[in-house]
C-alpha cells in the first residue's frame, strides 16, 4: 500500500471513530463526590425511595420499574413508564443522555434536576453507580 493510501485510510477510520458515541470510562471515586448532588432525591446504598426512585440495581433495569425493599413501585410519571414500556433500559448510553439533560431525553419526566454539564462528571457518576450495583 502506498504511504498516501495508508494515511487516507487512517484518517477515514479516525473520522468514523470520532463520530461514534464512544463513552469515556469514569472514575467512581470522583463520581461518588459528584453523586452528592443526586443524594437529596435518590438512594443508591439503601433500597428505599426518596423524592426520586431508589437507584439500587438501576444498571440494566428497564426505565420506570424501580421497586423498594418492600416491593413498592415508585410513582413514576407517565412518560417514564412509557419509556420502560418502549424498551428503554438504564445502560451507559441511556444514562449518559438522561444525565446530560433529563427533560430533553425524556420530556415530561418528573425529574427537575437540569443535568450534569460536564461529560467527565456524567462518566464518573455512571462509574460510581455501577460500582454500587
Per-residue pLDDT at 16: 37
pLDDT, tens digit, 9 for 90 and up, residues 47-57: 999 999 999 99
**Segments of the chain with pLDDT less than 70:** 1-24
| C-alpha torsion sign, points 45, 47, 50, 51 | positive
The rounded percent of the chain whose pLDDT value lies above 70 is 82
Per-residue pLDDT at 86: 97
Contact by Cβ (8 Å): 45, 129: no
Q: Which three three-digit cell numbers place residue 6?
A: 495508508
Domain ranges of the chain: 26-132
Per-residue pLDDT at 25: 85
Per-residue pLDDT at 24: 64
Per-residue pLDDT at 133: 81
pTM confidence score: 0.80
CA distance 83 to 64: 7
Q: Kindly report the CATH class assigned to 26-132.
A: mainly alpha
Q: Which CA distances in Å does 33 have to 36, 37, 38, 48, 56?
A: 6, 8, 10, 21, 17
pLDDT, tens digit, 9 for 90 and up, residues 22-47: 456 899 999 999 999 999 999 999 99
CA distance 18 to 51: 38
Q: Which CA distances in Å does 62 have to 7, 37, 48, 122?
A: 44, 23, 18, 20
Amino acid at each position: 500500500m502506498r504511504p498516501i493510501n495508508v494515511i487516507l485510510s487512517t484518517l477515514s477510520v479516525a473520522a468514523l471513530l470520532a463520530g461514534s458515541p464512544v463513552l469515556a470510562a469514569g472514575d467512581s471515586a470522583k463520581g461518588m463526590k459528584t453523586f452528592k448532588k443526586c443524594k437529596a432525591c435518590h438512594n443508591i446504598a439503601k433500597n428505599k425511595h426518596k423524592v426520586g426512585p431508589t437507584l439500587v440495581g438501576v444498571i440494566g433495569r428497564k426505565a420506570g420499574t424501580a421497586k423498594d425493599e418492600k416491593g413498592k413501585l415508585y410513582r413514576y410519571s407517565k412518560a417514564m413508564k412509557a419509556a420502560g414500556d418502549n424498551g428503554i433500559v438504564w445502560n451507559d448510553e441511556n444514562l449518559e443522555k438522561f444525565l446530560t439533560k433529563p427533560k430533553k431525553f425524556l420530556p415530561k419526566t418528573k425529574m427537575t434536576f437540569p443535568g450534569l454539564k460536564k461529560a467527565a462528571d456524567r462518566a464518573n457518576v455512571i462509574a460510581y453507580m455501577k460500582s454500587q450495583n
